[in-house]
């Protein structure tokens, strides 16, 4: 969908073809109809990112920093990786952040090593989340409620962090495309329109 001009136009174009293709991929994923819609998508994504991040911080502060003693954190043994639960509650969101950022940009750019790193980190996060249940099964944790509370808190922190990062990335990418779309060798909104029309053509009509 990227229109290639003559040699003079290509030399004057400040955006490399790889960057233009990345922007085209961003547009196809968000499907903005015009610049106002794109700005609205960017604003909403930024607001959601901040809200999710604040929610994650509040959940950690209330349920771990302040409420950990009541929830039996002192009875949770260290992870097999040597992490205390309070430390794990900080490490897990950080791993989610890294995994999400690397995986998203790896999928946009089609970079295999980034996808491998993101998938491996996500698997490590899943292990840390369910480990309290495993410790319950082997007898290292005596009460079911303590194990369930630990796993639930880690799962909620991971989900909120993931949503915050995804929304933040969307806001950043949309802002980037919005600031550069005048210099692209294609009309970003026409690309989105053609993509949507193509999807409609492929759908089976109702009888």
pLDDT band at 2 (very low <50, low <70, confident <90, very high): very low
pLDDT of residue 89: 94
Residue 87 predicted with pLDDT over 80: yes
Q: Where would I find the H helices in 34-187? A: 35-60, 85-109, 112-137, 144-180
pLDDT of residue 24: 76
Domain ranges of the chain: 27-196
Asked if 23 contacts 108 with a C-beta cutoff of 8 angstroms, the reply is: no
pLDDT of residue 73: 84
pLDDT tens digits, one per residue of 124-146: 999 999 999 988 888 788 889 98
For the record, the structure tokens of 25 come out as 């991929």
pTM of structure:
0.80
Residue 181 predicted with pLDDT over 80: no
Helix axes 85-109, 35-60, angle to 10 degrees: 160
Give the mean pLDDT of the chain. 81
Q: C-alpha angle with apex 125: 153 to 73, nearest 5 degrees?
A: 35
For the chain, percent of residues with pLDDT exceeding 70: 77
């Amino acid at each position: 969908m990227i229109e290639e001009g003559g040699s003079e136009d290509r030399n004057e174009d400040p955006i490399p073809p790889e960057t233009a293709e990345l922007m085209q991929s961003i547009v196809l994923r968000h499907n903005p109809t015009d610049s106002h819609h794109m700005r609205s998508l960017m604003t909403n994504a930024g607001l959601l990112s901040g809200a999710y991040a604040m929610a994650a911080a509040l959940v950690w502060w209330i349920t771990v920093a302040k409420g950990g003693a009541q929830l039996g954190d002192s009875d949770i043994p260290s992870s097999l990786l040597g992490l205390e639960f309070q430390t794990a509650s900080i490490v897990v969101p950080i791993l989610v952040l890294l995994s999400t950022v690397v995986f998203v940009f790896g999928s946009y750019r089609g970079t295999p090593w980034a996808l491998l790193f993101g998938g491996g980190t996500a698997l490590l996060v899943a292990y840390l989340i369910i480990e309290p249940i495993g410790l319950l099964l082997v007898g290292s944790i005596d009460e079911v409620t303590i194990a369930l509370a630990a796993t639930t808190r880690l799962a909620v922190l991971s989900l909120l962090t993931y949503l915050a990062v995804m929304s933040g990335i969307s806001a950043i990418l949309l802002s980037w495309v919005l600031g550069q779309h005048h210099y692209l060798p294609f009309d970003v909104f026409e690309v989105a329109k053609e993509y949507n029309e193509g999807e409609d053509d492929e759908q089976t009509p109702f009888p």
